[in-house]
Structure 1
Amino acid sequence: MEYTVEDLSPVKKKVSVTVPVEEVNASLSATIAMYRTSVDLKGFRKGKVPSSVIESRFRKEVYSEATQDLVNVHINEIIGELNVNPVSRIDFDGGELVRDEAFSYALSFEVLPEFELPNYEGMDVEQEQVVVKDDEVDEVINRIRGNMAEIITLAENRPAKDGEIAVIDFAAYENGEPIEGIAAQNFQMTLGEKQALEDFENLVKTVAPGEEKEGEVTFPADFINTEFAGKTVTMKVTVHSIQERRLPELDDEMARKAGGFDSVEKMREAVVQSYKKSRGDLCKSQAQTSMLERLLKTVDYPLPESMVEMYMDNLLMEKKNRLERQGKSLESLGKSMEELRDEVRPEAEKIAKTQIFLVAAARKEGVEVTEQEVDMQLHQLAMQTGQDFRSVKEYYAQNNLLFGLRDRLLADKAMDAVFQKANVTEVPPKDLKLDGAE
């Protein structure tokens, strides 16, 4: 096998391959030999079917598999000799093997661009100091108390107010007929937290326990279920009771129940340490981001279109998921897919440029990601989502997500390696707020 390499662009290569007759025939013979061991034909003992019969009866399958196997062997050999890492699928341009004839084909694929990394050793970088305020700790403690609150049914005969829980039955009607799928019994609805449509909440706030009322509710025009988008229906509501959350006393007993703390003071200390860890990670991440943005401004290189397209797909999927959590859809934005892709392209190009830079830095610093590190990350994902590790790994493998996961881990390790060589100075914090520190 001989090949020549042509650079179609700084990030795209074309490899033209010529295979001599001897290698063509050898590949066909190897595939036929494999078929002989497994094919069972009437009139022949298994494994004793003549090669000519195999080639005649299974010509289409044999020639297709022999071509594919030979090309795959060549791809591994060529990629290894060129010492490149394709970032796109490898496109094959060629026909099929023909016995006693030389075979020619071409491969094309995108690769990472070559460029000179800027000098980042000793680079001056500012990182905010970690400061935890008392009111931030108080806010977390109050959330813990809220999670431990006792639910009490109120004796007052009045409609529920914001912050209270209405236990209700409800159903939707259109032209006097019930609408399937919009009904529930003994549903606990916390008012004022926008758990439901505003029209529906306002209706519930007019109904006292033991009463039933109905009113019109209009679904928003961008409602995720297009069947109801913009539609006005009649909602019937029955309120059974009104409940409220009563917070426990802030004492050592509550601290023990909250997490086995010896005292309220010990619980506060744990919250402070959690804040320091979370905020410290955030401050470091912000300093790394600032450093990376400054470095990226000093370099310029072409981006493989396949990488940009992949990140565009990821960004649109994230947007779709966010909208669906809000009860909306991509279609509700009123834009074509081409317009949406154009909108996210700049961000996708920024992500691709960052990834390429960090891959180059990883190569320079000798940073690698092991299979064990990938599995560890998958274990964490499995624990977070309550799924089985093998199921998560199989999903990532089947959807070609393992490469992306490995790249993200590599980028994180490369950024840490680069940051370690910076000259980091701590500075007073800006107005920084971190949600969910507990």
Structure 2
Amino acid sequence: MAVNVETLEKLERRITLTLPASTINGEVETRLKKLARTVKADGFRPGKVPMSVVAQRYGYSVQYEVVNDRVGQAFAEATNEAKLRVAGAPRITQKDEAPEGALAFDATFEVYPEVKIGDLAAAEIERVSTEVTEAAIDRTVEILRKQRRTFAQRPAAEGAEEGDRVTIDFDGKIDGEPFAGGKAEAFQFLIGEGQMLEQFDKAVRGMKVGESKTFPLQFPADYHGQDVAGKEADFLVTMKKIERQDLPAVDDAFAKSLGIADGTVEALRADVKKNLEREVKFRVQARNKAAVMDALSKAAELDLPNALIASELQRLVEQARADLKQRGVKDAESVDLPEDIFKPQAERRVRLGLVVSELVRGNNLQAKPEQLQAHIEEMSQSYEKPAEVMRWYLSDRQRMAEVEAVVIENNVTAFVLAQAKVTDKVLPFDELMASQ
């Protein structure tokens, strides 16, 4: 049977669904009879409740269910017959006018757009790469040393130095008045590790236990505490305790303490390099993938289904609420989160999702089983028990779907880079690791 599809605007369509009233009534009667076998009512034995009572109590809800089911079925059959790809759920409204002995409904909905991807050979993309240097390995080993450092109290005659852990009392005032967060007792921090503002850090250097000192401090204009940002304070600091840090030597014993099987410094450095290379690979992939997605977005022409944007907006708002709740924000469920702030992100995600799907479908870029396996194996290597991590991924369909999405994006990235005008850039290790 031919389906009449009315085009309303861009991606919006409407079709009319007509259902025989006799079919609806027959289905309602069948369901009520089945319900009557188990329904309970005062004054009647189970299964002996009169149909008139059952119909009076449940007739409306059963009819609502039947109409919903039948309309849903008719909509699926009609859109399948018309070969339409429906985006989102339809909006169903009953028509006042209908053929005799029938019910008529209008189904208004959106369809997936036609995606036109321009000439990818004209796309200009910067592809970055990064090398794990010996200096990067040195810094990582130094971090491992600091994670295992110990502290010992300095002799009273010695002043505080770079790397010392100091315990102080401080009292800050602005124009002679105390301010929030400006006072503390037995406050502890490490000199020279960026835990305090540079002026504060420098002021305590050289101080000895029992010594007090007053100094001015200029808060930066972009300081996170808005009440004091850009203002000058006077601080009184009293040194209570100074502890010298002792770092372990980088030797075979240190390597063994980190669980290195060979127990040698060479093996430790090789392990550090392997882990850094894995992290660098993922970061480089993410950066190049973002560049490819930007190029794809610019090269594609398509209309965006409002239904998909609305669905993505809802997902982003729910995700934001979950993040707030995880951070301990009180009443995260009721925090006002205007959808407008998420709309650009929602539109971008929907746009890229449609473009990537079109590219995957047209160029056979689906994730292959061996690619999924290799990706999971690679991710698992950064954990203590890789085999358990692999089982954790493989045992859950949702987690595997997330892995599949990443692999597909990697395939798309490789496909686009092979065609585009690519400029290669070597990114310093520190710059890559500092980027988000």
State TM-score, norm by structure 2.
0.64
Query: In structure 2, which of residues 358, 363, 366 is the aligned counterpart of residue 360 of structure 1?
Result: 358
Give, in angstroms, the shift of residue 199 of structure 1.
10
Counterpart contact for 1:3–1:17, Cα < 8 Å: no
Cα deviation code 1:255-280 (max 9, x no counterpart): 11123242111111122222333333
Out of 415, 427, 430, the residue aligned to residue 431 of structure 1 is: 427
- Equivalents in 2 of 1:195, 1:320: separation in Å? 30
- Matched with 1:144 is 144
Q: 1:125 touches 1:423 (CA, 8 Å); kept in 2?
A: no
Q: Deviations over 1:359-388 (max 9, x none)?
A: 112333456689xx8xx99xx99x99xxxx
Cα separation, 1, equivalents of 2:13 and 2:189: 60
| Rounded Cα–Cα distance in structure 2 between residues aligned with 1:164 and 1:270 | 30
Shift of 1:29: 2.3
Looking at CA atoms only, which structure, 1 or 2, has the larger radius of gyration? 2
Hey, what's the Cα distance between the residues in 2 that align with 1:261 and 1:337?
A: 51
Alignment of structure 1 residues 272-283 onto 2, 5 Å: 272-283=273-284
Matched, 1:20 2:48: no
Deviation at 1:134, TM superposition (A): 1.5
Mapped pair 1:299 → 2:294: no
Structure 2 equivalent of residue 331 of structure 1: none
Deviation of the 1:56 alpha carbon: 0.9
Aligned to 1:8: 8
Q: Does 1:63 align with 2:58?
A: no
Offset, 1:292: 4.6
Q: Does 1:416 align with 2:417?
A: no
1:158 Cα deviation (Å)?
Answer: 7.8
2:44 aligns with: 44
Residue number in structure 2 paired with 1:341: 340
Moved more, 246-255 or 187-196: 187-196
Distance 1:206 1:268 in 2: 36
Query: Secondary structure at the residue paired with 2:241?
Result: strand
* Equivalent residue number for residue 132 of structure 1: 132
Mapped contact 1:168–1:241 kept (Cα < 8 A): yes
- Taking the aligned partners of 1:413 and 1:268, their CA distance within structure 2 comes to 33
Offset at residue 357 of structure 1 (A): 0.6
- Measure the CA separation in 1 of the matches of 2:188 and 2:289: 45
Quote how far apart the aligned CAs of 1:294 are: 4.0
Q: What's the CA shift string for 1:285-310, capped at 9, x where partnerless?
A: 44454455444443311122344456
Greater shift in the superposed pair: 211-220 or 299-308: 211-220
Give the percent of matched residue pairs that are identical in Structure 1 and Structure 2.
21
Amino acid paired to 1:22: S
Tell me the distance in 1 between the aligned counterparts of 2:196 and 2:19: 67
How far apart, in 1, do the equivalents of 2:50 and 2:34 lie? 12
Structure 1 residues 325 and 35: CA distance shift in structure 2, 3 A: closer
CA pair 352-184 structure 1, distance change in 2 beyond 3 A: same
Pairwise CA RMSD of aligned residues? 6.0
Q: Residues 201 and 94 from structure 1, CA distance in 2 versus in 1: closer, same or farther, beyond 3 angstroms?
A: farther
Distance in structure 2 (CA, Å) of the matches to 1:234 and 1:38 = 81
Which letter does structure 2 place at the counterpart of 1:64? Y
The residue correspondences of 1:30-429 to structure 2 (distance < 5 A) are 30-78=30-78, 80-81=80-81, 86-94=86-94, 102-117=102-117, 131-156=131-156, 163-167=163-167, 188-190=188-190, 241-262=241-262, 263-308=264-309, 341=340, 346=344, 348-365=346-363, 409-410=404-405, 412-413=407-408, 415-416=410-411, 419-420=414-415, 423=418, 429=425
CA distance in 2, matches of 1:132, 1:426: 23
CA contact (8 A) 1:171 1:236 kept: yes
Instruction: Give me the whole-angstrom Cα distance separating, in 2, the residues matched to 1:223 and 1:108.
Output: 52
Distance 1:323 1:300 in 2: 36
Unaligned ranges ≥5, structure 2: 174-178, 330-335, 384-388
1:304-363 deviations in Å (ceiling 9; x for gaps): 2344456567778889999999999xxxxxxx977x937x65555443322211111233
Ranges in structure 1 where 5+ consecutive residues have no aligned partner: 174-178, 329-335
The one-letter code sitting in structure 2 at the alignment partner of 1:363 is R
Cα distance in 2 between the residues matched to 1:315 and 1:369: 26
Q: Is the 8 A contact 1:215 1:236 kept in 2?
A: yes
Structure 1, 248-257 or 10-19: larger mean CA deviation: 10-19
What letter corresponds to residue 419 of structure 1 in structure 2? A
Q: What secondary structure does 1:42 align onto?
A: coil
Distance in 2 separating the partners of 1:145 and 1:204 = 25
Is contact 2:36–2:49 with CA below 8 Å preserved after alignment?
yes
Inter-partner Cα distance in structure 1 for 2:157 and 2:251: 33
Residues 9-43 of structure 1: CA distance to partner in whole angstroms, max 9, x if unpaired? 33333333221112221332244245324421123
Name the CA shift for 1:288/1:189 in 2 (closer, same or farther; >3 Å).
closer
Using the alignment, how far apart are the partners of 1:52 and 1:215 within structure 2?
Answer: 90
* Amino acid paired to 2:275: S
Aligned length: 399
Report the CA distance between 1:248 and its aligned residue: 1.0
**CA 327–38 in structure 1, closer or farther in 2 if over 3 Å, else same:** closer
